[in-house]
């Protein structure tokens, strides 16, 4: 069994580092934004096309 299953994070002791109070706030992560799947598909299609066009980066015939 993976030991990552038992990984636990400990709280950071604020006295252990010298950081101004204004930099200690927590950023809120909002995951409510919708995803434009068509735009994402187009982006990754372009990434794959760019990879195929670059002969120095990877040769697909070597697989």
DSSP labels, 7-33:
--PPPP-GGGS---GGG-PPPPP----
Residue 8: pLDDT band (50, 70, 90) is confident
Average pLDDT in the chain: 77
Q: How far is CA 9 from CA 1, 4, 25, 60, in A?
A: 19, 11, 18, 41
pTM value > 0.75: no
CA dist., res. 53 & res. 25, Å (int): 45
């Amino acid at each position: 069994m993976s030991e990552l299953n038992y990984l636990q994070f400990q709280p950071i002791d604020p006295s252990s580092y010298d950081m101004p109070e204004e930099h200690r706030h927590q950023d809120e992560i909002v995951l409510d934004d919708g995803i434009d799947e068509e735009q994402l598909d187009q982006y990754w299609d372009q990434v794959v096309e760019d990879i195929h066009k670059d002969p120095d980066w990877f040769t697909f015939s070597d697989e």
